[in-house]
Structure formats: structure tokens, C-alpha cells
Amino acid sequence: MPATIARIANIGYREVEFAGYFGRTAADVRAMLERNGLSAPSTHIAFAGLGDAWDKMLDFAAGVGHQFVTVPWIDAKKRTTLADWHRIAADFNKAAERARSRGLRFAYHNHDFEFKRVGDTVPFDLLLRETDPALVSFEMDVYWVTEAGSDPRAYLRQYPSRFVMLHLKDSAGPPKHAQVDVGKGTIDFAAILRLDANQKHAVEHVFVEHDEPPQPFVFAKNSYDYLHALEF
């Protein structure tokens, strides 16, 4: 982990996002970031409810220095009905209140399952409508929105202040939507970023991502170089 963090910093990145800490303490992680001139505005943490485990994760996140605690997944068994989605939205509001009490902000990261209709309802739209904008933000994964057949820009237009972070992950295009280095695929990142800039500039942080890159550091370097040179 220390070597990975150092190599990411050497590429030129100045922000990272965590999804696990490999047994390190919050103080260890914070020191590692500081040594490499990095910050970690967000971390992905599992949401298992509103019990003590949630509070412990919030305390850990605050100790690292994160701004956002971002929920990246909802267990399939907990999202089968429309009533489930209404409950999830209500739970997110409560969880976000707890986060705010510790100086943290709550966000939700999408995949593609949120766009599969339950009856006449798109669950992602329900989450946007029923979560409190003052408490709950969103981290849009533009790849998964695209793979699901939706348009990232349409959501940015409709909800110009809700998406405070983006995952920039590229697609080789339909039908398989193979993931590729950022800038090597079909997603128009310049148009997405330009739209945000022309609206309220709600996006505060962007992170590159590839679920299973064949060569992770090649992916990281290629994606950084593309975005560093991107004009929008």
C-alpha cells in the first residue's frame, strides 16, 4: 500500500479515494497521504445500517481526514421492491445526519442496477427525489450510467447541484461496454465536465477508475495524462 500510494503521487495525482485500508489505522493512512502530498476527499464504506458499526466507520473516516463517506453498493436482497427503495432513501437521510454530526458529508455512488425499473419507477430517480439535498450528495459513475442506457449529461442538467463527485471510467461502447483507459473509449468526458462548468460547478472531485485494469499503473498514467491535457 505505501508503494502504491507513492507511485500514484509520482504520476501526478493529488487526490485519491479509498475502498479499504488493508489493516492500517486512521493515523497510519493520514500520515501516508501527508508524506506523499495527497489528500483523500472520499472513501467508499459499506452501509449495513445505522448501528454502532456505522458510527465506528464515521469515526475512522474523520480520523483519516476524509470529507465524504460514500456508500458504493446496496445488497441485492435489500432492494427488490419499491418499498425497499423508499426505505433506503429514508435510511440514507438518517445516516447522513449522523455523518454531518461528525463533520462529514454523505454521498451515494451508483452502478447500473439503480436504473432498472421497479414497476414504473427508476430507483435512481427515487433516491434523488427522496433524499435531502442538504444532507445527501451523489458520486456519479459515468460509465455505469452510460452502460445502463442513460445519459450522464441529462442527470447533470436535471440535478445540477446533486453530483459533487464523478467517477471517470471509460467504455469501449456497446454492446459489451468493455472498460478501457480513460480517453481510449467512447464517453465524451469533455462535454460532461463542460456542462458542469457551465452550470453551478457542483462537481468538487473527480476520480479515474477501472474495475479490473490489466496493468493498473499503465491505466493510471494513461488516464492522468489524458485528463491533464483535456480542454473543456
pLDDT of residue 75: 94
List, for residues 166-206, the tens digit of each pLDDT value.
Answer: 999 999 999 999 999 999 999 999 999 999 999 988 999 99
Asked if the structure places residue 18 within a domain, the reply is: no
Q: Collapse the DSSP code of 65 into the 3-class scheme (helix H, G, I; strand E, B; otherwise coil) and give the result.
A: coil
pLDDT of residue 96: 96
H helices of 101-173, in order, are: 123-130, 142-147, 152-158
Whether 48 has a pLDDT exceeding 80, the answer reads no
The pTM of the full predicted model, rounded to 2 decimals, is 0.96
For all residues of the chain together, what is the average pLDDT? Answer: 96
pLDDT of residue 79: 96
Q: Collapse the DSSP code of 150 into the 3-class scheme (helix H, G, I; strand E, B; otherwise coil) and give the result.
A: coil
User: Poorest-confidence range of 107-111, 197-201, 222-226?
Assistant: 197-201
pLDDT of residue 143: 98
Whether 21 has a pLDDT exceeding 90, the answer reads yes
Asked if the structure places residue 210 within a domain, the reply is: yes
Rounded CA separation 132/155 (Å): 17
- Give the pLDDT band of residue 110 (cuts 50, 70, 90): very high
Asked if the structure places residue 38 within a domain, the reply is: no
Whether 37 has a pLDDT exceeding 80, the answer reads yes
The CATH number linked to 135 is: 3.20.20.150
Which residues, in sequence order, are CB contacts of 65 under 8 Å at separation 6+?
Answer: 30, 33, 39, 40
Q: Pairing between strand 205-208 and 179-180?
A: unpaired
Asked if the structure places residue 204 within a domain, the reply is: yes
The total of structural domains in the chain comes to 1
Whether 133 has a pLDDT exceeding 90, the answer reads yes
Asked if the structure places residue 19 within a domain, the reply is: no
pLDDT of residue 49: 75
- Give the pLDDT band of residue 50 (cuts 50, 70, 90): confident
Asked if the structure places residue 177 within a domain, the reply is: yes
Rounded CA separation 40/104 (Å): 13
Asked if the structure places residue 92 within a domain, the reply is: yes
**Domain that includes residue 164, residue range:** 43-51+67-215+223-229
Asked if the structure places residue 61 within a domain, the reply is: no
Whether 32 has a pLDDT exceeding 80, the answer reads yes
- Give the pLDDT band of residue 52 (cuts 50, 70, 90): confident
